[in-house]
Chain A
Amino acid sequence: MKTKNTAAVSSQQFEEMELIKKSRNGDTAAFSELVAPYSKRIYNIGLKMLNNREDAADMAQDVLLKIFRNLNRFRGDAAFSTWVYRISVNTCRDILRSSYRQHERLFTDFGEENEQPEYEVADYSALPEQLYEDRESNAYLLALIRGLTPKYRIVMVLREVSGLSYQEIADAVNISVGTVKSRLNRARAAMREKALADAEHNPQLARLINCQ
């Protein structure tokens, strides 16, 4: 069973390498096939990290073009997916940096090891009070994720939305696995604290997050 699995994985990798080779020669159809499994994921990372669909779509297009342009530089010593996530993370960071220059302090330490004080884990000042009364619980949860400061948010998104392992997250964001662990822990604690505080006045929300 185990051998069968690895064989399947390597044949998938082989296929990927073939598509990469074709794409390098300018075969756009091959490239579309190559990135098809990632497009949606990249877009959704953008959707959670940035504020709207337009920005997310622009970001995803930008990432895919960067991949296409730099395919020659992909050496294949790491997984293609890692490389894709890395470019996605960096692109998000660049966009956030340029659009929030005044808060640069919060964003420069994206890949930094030392932890920030607790109060900077999340910033819910922009979250409208009545949002959780909305029937769309998704909107509330999304706002909860977007309320995290970017260095916590990216880890959270890669874990809960993209479903990456700690090691994959560490590679993509360029931090250690230990840092991934502690950031996820802090991010979850901050989100839960906020949700519990909101749920005290709102039974509907309490039901939603299953904490009563």
Chain B
Amino acid sequence: MKCEDIRRHFSEYIDLEAPEEIASAIEEHVAACGECRRELEAFRKFNAAIASVGEEELPFDFAVTLQANLEEEKKKGRSRSRSKSRPWLRALAACACLMLVLGVFSLGSSLFGLSMGASAAQDAAASAPMAYAMNGSMKRMDMAVTEDAAPMEEYIIAEEEAPMGDNGFYDEAEVAEVEMEADIDAAEGGSLKRSAGESTVKRKIIKNYSLSLRVEDFDAAYKRISELASEYGGYVVSGNTSDYEGSIVRDGWLSIRVDAERADEVIDHIAELGTIEHNSFSSNDVTSDYYDTQTRLEQYRAQEERLLELYQRAETIEDLISLESEMTRVIAEIESMEGTLRYYDQLTTLSLIDVNLYTPSTYTQTVEPTGWAGFWENVKSGFLRGINNTLDSIASIFIFFVRILPTLILLAAIAMLLLFFFRRGRRGRKEKLPKKEQE
């Protein structure tokens, strides 16, 4: 074999993947050919250099991020697999959908004035948070009714899920779990210690609450919530009240930030002020973003130090200029990252509570789902209404008759009088005629 052919197989040979006959051919050849022997040696060394690039360690927060991702995936997957594994649940869901369609349909027809009051479903509806406070003009009523179709949907689904043991507090329970895990992480400490050794890995979760509160004394409640903000180490973010001339309800909203760890206490206090009609909670886990930024920040700080060192040792003007521009860039990056971290710190240490405040109103309108439940009542009331209508018309005819009676009597009298004279006239003529005949 020629040297060229031999060298073509070096790659597989050094990987120990060459077939035996090629391997032995190479060995034979390099034993005889000095140039190829050196070439093989160089080739081997070059590849050793490439392989020396090796593997880098995983980022320090990799495991934490993975665990968070898995939990999230599991939460998503659970609802999927659950509906897969229990066919009766699917049937139940189908029923719920059917009910929903019927509900929406009857709601739609009620908008066109075809509604008949349904009493059976009314009780259920009363407990649902569907009361819609009307404020201002009556023009908004149509809109209000259509918007209520959405809460009804939520309501029905919640009803179906309740027996599954998953109630509305699912999310909060999950969050508590996460926090507990974070504590364990902190306890296990060691391996998760940050390189700078300043703190341990702690979950960074932004929590937001939103409440709808019905109160008797609007102003007092508004003032109290503002006070709560400062009592619990926070502040009022924004607020808005409106008091239109002639409107019966007062309403407004207030956003406050309070110490995240004591947010529950604040909500308890707010609940004392009136009736919480709607309560929602959301959280956003920014742990991985936070520590990513922190790691990058550390890298940039190290770079800044190196640049400073270089800057002091720089000799030419070009070096100084290029180092300066690089430092400007690095410092800008550092500042922006520090800003991001401060922002996250603030969001995670202070929870946002949005409170929607309003006074009870006589204009509170309740939309109740109708459907088959009230069918027989509807038939019955329809039938009764039919009888009533018939009676009504008979009565009307009677009243009409009575009303025109005097006129009729008068007309009858006139008619009789005319008839009388007419007859008399005719008789007179008859009496005359025989006279003439007699003459």
The yes or no verdict on A and B being binding partners is yes
What residues make up the interface of A, taking CB atoms closer than 8 Å to B? 26, 28, 31-32, 39-41, 43-44, 47-48, 53-54, 57, 60-61, 64-65, 68-69, 137-138, 141-142, 144-145, 156, 159-161, 165-166, 181, 184-185, 188-189, 191-192, 195, 208-211
By a CB distance below 8 angstroms, the chain B residues around A53 are 59
Q: Kindly provide the distance from the CB of B234 to the nearest chain A CB, expressed in whole angstroms.
A: 34
Instruction: Evaluate contact between B46 and A195: CB separation under 8 angstroms.
Output: yes
Whole-angstrom CA separation of A51 from B78 in the bound complex = 35
Contact of B53 among A39, A61, A142, A188 (CB under 8 A): A142
* B395 interface residue per 8 A CB criterion: no
Contact A160 B53 (CB under 8 A): yes
Contacts of B48 in A (CB 8 A): 210
Using an 8 Å CB-CB cutoff, how does the interface string of B16-49 with A read, 1 for contact, 0 for none? Answer: 0100000000000000000000000011011111
Q: A65-B73, A184-B12, A185-B8 in contact; A44/B55 too (CB < 8 A)?
A: yes
- Chain A min CB distance to B56 (Å): 6
* Contact flag A141-B53 (CB < 8 Å), given A26-B77, A209-B46, A210-B42: yes
Chain A residues in 8 Å Cβ range of B8: 185
Which secondary structure characterizes the binding site on chain B?
A: helix
Bound-state CA distance A160–B47 (Å) is 8
Contact between B66 and A210, CB atoms less than 8 A apart: no
B46 touches A41 (CB 8 A): no
Chain A nearest CB, measured from B68 CB (Å)? 10
Q: Is B17 a contact of A28 with CB atoms below 8 Å?
A: no
Selected contact of A208 from candidates B49, B69, B71, CB within 8 Å: B49
Asked whether, in the complex, the Cβ of A68 is within 8 Å of the Cβ of B70, the reply is yes
Residue pair B55, A68 in contact (C-beta under 8 Å):
no
Which residues from A are CB-within-8-Å of B153? none
Q: Are A145 and B50 in contact (CB under 8 A)?
A: yes
From 197 to 248 in chain B, residues with beta carbon under 8 angstroms from any chain A beta carbon are none
Kindly identify which residue among B50, B66, B78 contacts A26, using a CB–CB cutoff of 8 Å: B78
Q: Which of B15, B46, B58, B292 contacts A159 (CB 8 A)?
A: B15
- Complex CA–CA separation, A20 to B104 (angstroms): 46
Residue of A nearest to B295 (CB): A53
24 contacts between A and B (CB under 8 A): A26-B77, A26-B78, A28-B67, A28-B70, A28-B71, A31-B70, A39-B66, A40-B58, A60-B62, A61-B65, A65-B69, A68-B70, A137-B49, A145-B53, A159-B15, A166-B12, A181-B11, A184-B12, A185-B8, A188-B47, A191-B50, A208-B49, A210-B42, A210-B49
User: Which residues of the other chain, A, contact B67 by a CB distance below 8 angstroms?
Assistant: 28, 32
**Contacts of A209 on B, CB cut-off 8 Å?**
45-46, 49
Q: Which residues of B contact A (CB under 8 A)?
A: 8, 11-12, 15, 17, 42-43, 45-59, 62-63, 65-67, 69-71, 73-74, 77-78, 292
Residues of A within 8 A of B74 (CB): 26, 28
**Known contacts A166-B17, A184-B12, A209-B46; is-contact A43 B70 (Cβ 8 Å):** no
- B62 shortest CB reach to chain A, Å: 6
A-chain residues with CB within 8 Å of residue B56 when the two chains form the complex: 43-44, 47
Q: Which residues of A contact B54 (CB under 8 A)?
A: 161
CB-based contact A188/B11 at 8 Å: yes
Give the complex CA separation of A32 and B58 in angstroms. 14
Taking CB atoms, residues of chain B closer than 8 Å to A165 are: 17
The answer on a CB contact under 8 Å between A54 and B70 is no
Considering the complex of A and B, which 4 residue pairs feature the smallest CB-CB distances, nearest first? A210-B45, A185-B11, A44-B55, A28-B70
Chain B residues closer than 8 Å to A142, beta-carbon distance: 53
What are the residues of chain A within 8 A of B62 when measuring CB–CB?
A: 39, 43, 57, 60-61
Contact status of A161 and B53, CB under 8 A, knowing A31-B70, A69-B77: yes
Docked-complex contact B55 and A40, CB < 8 angstroms:
yes
Q: Are A54 and B45 in contact (CB under 8 A)?
A: no
B12 closest partner in A (C-beta): A181
Interface contacts beyond A145-B53, A192-B43: sample of 15 additional A-B pairs, CB < 8 Å, sorted by A: A28-B67, A28-B71, A32-B63, A40-B57, A43-B56, A69-B73, A141-B49, A160-B51, A184-B12, A185-B11, A188-B11, A191-B46, A209-B46, A209-B49, A210-B46
Least Cβ–Cβ distance between A144 and chain B, in angstroms: 7
Q: Which residues of A contact B66 (CB under 8 A)?
A: 32, 39, 61, 64
Q: Which residue of B lies closest to A191 (CB)?
A: B50
From residue B65, how far is it (CB to closest CB) to chain A in Å? 6
Contact residues in B for A68 (Cβ distance below 8 Å): 70, 73
